[in-house]
A and B are shown apart, each in its own frame.
Chain A
Amino acid sequence: MRLTTLAIVLSSILTPLAHAHGPKTTSLKNAPLPALPAGLIDGTSPIIINQEKAILLGKALFWDMAVGSDGIACASCHFHAGADSRKTNQLNPGNKNPAPSGETFEATASGAQGGPNYTLKRSDFPFHQKENPFSGTSPTTFDSDDTTASSGTFSGDYNGAPRTGDINDECTRDPDTVFHVNGTGTRRVEPRNTPTVINAVFNHRNFWDGRANNTFNGSSIWGDRDKDAGVWVKVNSRKVKKQRLALINSSLASQALAPPLSDAEMGCRQRSFQELGRKLLLRRPLEHQNVHHQDSVLGALSFSTSGDLQPGINTTYATLIKQTFNKKYWSYRRRGSFGGRDGELPYTQMEANFSMFFGLALQMYESTLVSDDSPFDNATFDDRKLPTNLGDSIRRGAAAFEELHCNICHSGPVLTSNAIDTNAQLLEANSQAFGLNTDQSGVDGVAMNRNIVNYDNAKGSKFFDTGFTNTGVQHQNSDPGLGGLDDFNNPLSFSSQYAEYLAGTANAIVDTEAGIENTKSCNFQKYFASNRFIPPFITVTGFFRPADGIIADPNGNSNCYNAASEAFIPSSASAAAELENPNSPKMAFATQAAFKVPTLRNIELTGPYMHNGSMATLEEVLEFYARGGNFNNNFTHEFVAEMGQIAGKDPVLNATAIQKRADIVAFLKSLTDDRVKYEKAPFDHPELTIPNGHTGNASAVINGNPLDASLAIDNNLILDAVGANGRSTPLTSFAETLAP
């Protein structure tokens, strides 16, 4: 073999992927939404027969306080640029952590006691602190597994709900064992920070751990995993049948079904969507909340006039459902098939299918919440796809964002690799959509070919799910994230399913609509199985070789990132044997403590940051990345490493590093859409009263809540109704609201 050939071979083995630059950040304007599932709005008998009404229904449901058991709307935690900017009673003890500390509140970094009804201060952040915030090896001076999230319901045991008047459910309410101040119950707080709902339509899966399935089954969040899921379809007026529903690209609909039944977010325990339907259907939407006469969606039905805001809109939920959905889902008028509660008439078909109506309506509304009008979206770009008319700082920031490989995960126009379908559509339409070198980007290898499972990204060679990354924010055991299980003890991750599928495990794939079995090994970012020539003096342990037992990948080798010699997979026996090896170098996973890669659009408004809400400012986020994360573990992404360019450990380089961090922040702020900042259409909204901590403080509260005397009296944040023209004052960042 000639020396040059050998060098090429060795180079390709040792560095099969040279991450030159990766995908460029691009404008979101005209980017396609994920393709709507067949049969949703098209075909001979579509589920939704009127999209405008669907959006109207979804917006009403999203903002209606009657949806919760005790006044919590979906919007109560998504009211500020689609996220939650409250600072009082927002702490959770970190109860995703199985260790004892997951049940107890820690003192905060400022030395305050924290806990229920605590008001966060600037000096409480970040939740992990080092002597030198730019050095990963610097001694840790503070760490807490508590999280900043959203206060929700008091919860309780569900007994029933009124169909008119009072919007609170009838629940047996007692002080919570964790969320209380001196025995007086406070509102419960969920364990993970509330992500923005704006642009969430692009996420392949939602929730930080991805459990909001891409496939909507009509009755739960679990997609095809839920074998009892289904919707009721009228055959004729004497016959109804339960059918499976599998709507792809409908993670928002899946997601919508969790909070109303969650005893940490909106609902009393044992509540059901049938009961929620019975509560709401005869009601006028938003009946206790003012609706602006210029509301971009609801205004035409409002009772308001200029200078005279009035509550509610002139219709009922049942009417809207009839106008929105195919009658085969609600016009069966006999009962008995759908169950019911003792002493009550059985549920109607409309009540039985309320979960489907709720999920799809919210998805249709949330799909309109696309912020594609930021300065960056309207910029002009040079041939490097860097902005040319936004000033030097933003331009340098955009370049630094790429140099530091932020773009590998925060990729494409949504700035997340979780936007799988949109990224793929853009690349299919234009192979240069993300720059000249996209063939070496994560987006190309993954999204272009629709691989939802990938290989590499963590130290060594590991499987990971596209759009989910471990960045070492918390200890890897504090919260399993994507490495967790669903309600049926199946792994949440696609990677685990794929590995078991390769090993021949029966029924290994539980997300049957996801296309896991279509994963093309030749698109992995590192070699997984290869029959290419390798000199015998080189020992290969990191991927499968013919001697291990490999077979041609049945998905072929067309349009692949890697060569045909890498279009192989291990034999079932080989894969199964390797899975048995806990220290396998070939079939390991980077799914533990991996979380959804969030969009960075409007990021200046959506703090606190990370899945645990542990950072208050973008500067703290950059410090975190500069020091290579908080907890460098075996699952963290390879690009989460100390970044000298922005760390500034060297005094000589410090000024440069400071400038570079400022440039990156400037670039991130150029992603803010003024329509979001001023709540202009489509981000306008009805009035909303949001529980905002309780009267008192973290040491003392006042009992006597009207819901139950044992519960603390709420303080409220009142969000005025805003019309399509928005508000006169801009939204502020989370940090700006904090006392020092």
Chain B
Amino acid sequence: MNHTKKILILSALSATLGLQTAQATSTFSATSLVTVTIDNIINNTHAGDLSSISITGGFWLDDTLGDEGFGKTVTNQADSSYSHIGNWQDNTLVTGNSLSQSFSAIGSATDGKVNSNYFSFGDIYFANDSNDDYTIKYSINYLLATNVTGDFASSSISLSYFNDLGNIDGYEEATASTLLNTSSFNSSTNNPDPLLTSFSLDLGAFEEDIFYTDVTITGYAEAKANEIAPVPVPAAGWLMLSSLIFLRKYRISTT
């Protein structure tokens, strides 16, 4: 088991155990898995010559962007944290390669409130350094899930994907609220239209494009000490299950 897998499992177990022992607790959890795959690269000018096309990129997370709202505010007994695992910047991609990230956050309040906002970025940079014309086919797969438990919690995890050329503009999210007694799961496999997740990029001479995949997690939890959170264990089990699902998916996509 590599380091990444260990972290994911520990994260899931930690969240599960925390929920099991909580009493007057409101919690939120959210997790995502985003994978971008280069499906095919075609040189339309000189068949088979891929020497002048470069595809690089990765996922990154800059928690220093305080003025952009990355972080949390907490009062009393409440807190939140995040984890970000995956391919970081400056990876070089060829046909068949994928880049993936898992980005998760959890928060809880036992006597207080926590308001948090975390985001990660994904950039894939396509550059044609020749007079040839290229067609690049690529796709995005995503899983977004979030859950809340307790007296009052609300969470949202969203994925925005778009490109510099302006012909891609996608937005997906999953949301949960204890008021609505909902959890939410959203994935690209739910989307019946592959046109929304598979793309074809034509790059002419010395043209370039950037494909962005950004994930944001917002979570709010509030509880008072004398209030008992309802039914925490099934929720903990849900988080455990969803984490394991993501872990399996992550393993497949990076094989």
Contact = CB atoms under 8 A, between A and B. Distances in A.
Interface of A: 163-165, 236-238, 282-284, 287, 314-316, 318-319, 327, 331, 333-336, 340, 343-346, 348
Interface in B99-116: 113, 115-116
Contact of B154 (A238, A282, A333, A344): A282
A560 B216 CA distance: 59
A334 B152 CA distance: 23
Interface string B112-129: 010111010100000000
Contact of A236 (B119, B173, B212): B212
A335 B115 contact: no
A335 B66 CA distance: 9
A170 to B, nearest CB: 13
Interface stretch (B10-18, B69-77, B86-94): B69-77
A283 B154 CA distance: 10
Interface in B7-30: none
Interface magnitude class on chain B: 20 to 34
B115 A237 contact: no
Given A238-B212, A333-B160, A333-B218, A343 B73 contact: yes
A331 B156 CA distance: 11
A334 B216 contact: yes
Given A237-B212, A333-B216, A282 B169 contact: no
Contact of A348 (B116, B152, B212, B218): B218
A345 B218 CA distance: 11
Contacts of B177: 282, 316, 319
Nearest to B159: A237
A327 B119 contact: no
Contacts of A346: 67-69
Contacts of B116: 345
Nearest to A331: B171
Contact of A316 (B119, B173, B180, B222): B180
A282 B221 CA distance: 11
B180 A336 contact: no
A237 B71 contact: no
B241 interface: no
B69 A334 contact: yes
A166 to B, nearest CB: 12
Contact of B158 (A164, A284, A333): A333
Contact of A164 (B72, B152, B216): B152
A515 B204 CA distance: 48
B152 to A, nearest CB: 4
Contacts of A315: 180
A343 B68 CA distance: 14
B158 A345 contact: no
A345 B73 contact: yes
17 contacts: A163-B220, A163-B222, A236-B162, A237-B162, A237-B214, A238-B121, A282-B179, A316-B154, A316-B177, A318-B175, A319-B175, A319-B177, A333-B117, A333-B160, A345-B69, A346-B67, A346-B69
A335 B218 CA distance: 11
A274 to B, nearest CB: 13
Contact of A331 (B69, B115, B121, B158): B158
B73 A238 contact: no
A53 to B, nearest CB: 16
B32 to A, nearest CB: 12
Contacts of A343: 73
A309 B101 CA distance: 48
A487 B219 CA distance: 38
Q: Which A-B residue pairs are the 5 nearest by beta carbons?
A: A335-B69, A237-B160, A333-B216, A336-B68, A237-B214
A335 B171 contact: no
Contact of B160 (A163, A331, A335, A340): A331
B184 to A, nearest CB: 11
A276 B158 CA distance: 23
